Structure 1
Amino acid sequence: MARMKFICDAERCIECNGCVTACKNEHEIPWGVNRRRVVTLNDGVPGEKSISVACMHCSDAPCMAVCPVNCFYRTEEGVVLHDKDVCIGCGYCSYACPFGAPQFPASGTFGVRGKMDKCTFCAGGPEANGSEAEFDKYGRNRLAEGKLPACAEMCSTKALLAGDGDVVADIFRNRVVKRGKGAEVWGWGTAYGTQQQAAAPTGTKS
């Protein structure tokens, strides 16, 4: 059985936030909740990199360990989902998650949390696949339709990979091996030629 995972290639991410927009549009995410966000490290200085972050669907998920009502469950594909009918909005999962994946509605009385929301890997929830109740609570179930998460499909540079963990790991490994290092990461040699090509004489004057 496939184990679904995300991998974000920081060398390809251009901080366009297309993945964030695709997620919000696909599932009609309420205002104030972002299932996915783009984080930029070393912003504005050499070595700046961006990475798309959401629920990583951990094999040993800390959110599941701390939830007092056990609203989290794991599917056969390894996707970590939750039951909003069971969730009490205590917020323990948001403190335990190292990725900040569990989100709570921003509106409402001060100090009162609503039902937790997070990335579902576009796999819906405990309701019947494709049902109106499932969409209202968790968004579209693309996994049941044989599709990948919308965020990964809409990534313009294919920085965000999603699917079977072994497959996406192989894709990422092949990228690292082939693209080299330094300027070659961005295809400098393809666009402008290698140093050897640049140093070759082009002709002599008479």
Structure 2
Amino acid sequence: MARMKFICDTERCIECNSCATACKNEHEVPWGVNRRRVVTVNDGVIGQEKTISVACMHCSDAPCMAVCPVDCFYRTDEGVVLHNKDTCIGCGYCSYACPFGAPQFPSNGTFGLRGKMDKCTFCAGGPEENGSKAEFEKYGRNRLAEGKLPLCAEMCSTKALLGGDGDAIADIFRSRVMRRGKGSEVWGWGTAYGKSPNPNATAPAAATAAPASFTEGKK
């Protein structure tokens, strides 16, 4: 069974926002909610700007599921993390727990009226019958039930945003990294620790060596 995941390749993202626009149009997302956002890091710093498309990452150990007091979050057989709006009480715990800011309150209605949480569904709908009117009104279109991938990934012009089976998209991203020859620095090792993972390595070796994570577990 496929385990659905997203990966955004920051080396390819051009900040066109087509992913965010496609999501809002496809699902008629409520006003004030952005299920997918394009974030710029180091904005204005020459040579250090990076943009990344962010949404619910459908975590294997999702913190939103852990903190929800009414257990409205659930995981499908494909690994997609969804929530039941009929059960949701709008407490906002999931919003505080999520490191990606995926669960959000809609902004429509009277001031102070927050309503039910809304989040990315990986285009997998919700607990209602697949393709039903009730499902679309609450969660948007169920593209996975139609045999399609999330529209945000399909609309990405540079294929920076990849969505689908985790193993398949990891293989695609791995091949890109190996062609670039950046090694483990693509994971931000220098940003996190301020040094190369192998300070004794020569520059050519560091540029061509594949990180251990690329080969572990691949038999």
TM, length-normalised to structure 2: 0.81
1:24 alignment counterpart: 24
Q: Does 1:150 align with 2:158?
A: no
Q: How does 1:22-171 map to 2 (within 5 A)?
A: 22-46=22-46, 47-171=48-172
Q: Which moved more, 1:100-109 or 1:32-41?
A: 100-109
Which AA in structure 1 matches 2:34?
N
Q: CA deviation at 1:84?
A: 0.3
Q: Secondary structure at the match of 1:90?
A: coil
What RMSD in Å do the two structures reach over aligned CA positions? 1.2
Identity of aligned residues (%): 86
Which AA in structure 1 matches 2:158?
T
2:216 alignment counterpart: none
Distance in 2 (CA, whole Å) between partners of 1:78 and 1:58 is: 8
Q: Secondary structure at the match of 1:136?
A: helix
Q: CA deviation at 1:113?
A: 1.7
Distance in 2 (CA, whole Å) between partners of 1:71 and 1:175 is: 38
Which AA in structure 2 matches 1:60?
D
2:181 alignment counterpart: 180
1:11 alignment counterpart: 11
Q: Secondary structure at the match of 1:156?
A: coil
Which AA in structure 2 matches 1:110?
F
Q: Which moved more, 1:103-112 or 1:88-97?
A: 103-112
Question: What are the superposed Cα offsets for residues 68-96 of structure 1, whole Å, 9 maximum, x if unpaired?
Answer: 00000000000000000000000000000
Which AA in structure 2 matches 1:22?
A
Structure 2: gaps (5+ residues): 183-219
Contact 1:63–1:96 under 8 Å retained in 2: yes
Distance in 1 (CA, whole Å) between partners of 2:29 and 2:156 is: 18
Distance in 2 (CA, whole Å) between partners of 1:101 and 1:131 is: 24
TM, length-normalised to structure 1: 0.86
The runs of at least 4 aligned residues of structure 1 exceeding 4 Å deviation read none
Aligned residues: 182
Q: Secondary structure at the match of 1:151?
A: helix
Q: CA deviation at 1:132?
A: 0.4
Structure 1: gaps (5+ residues): 182-206
Contact 1:90–1:113 under 8 Å retained in 2: no
2:195 alignment counterpart: none
Q: Secondary structure at the match of 1:109?
A: coil
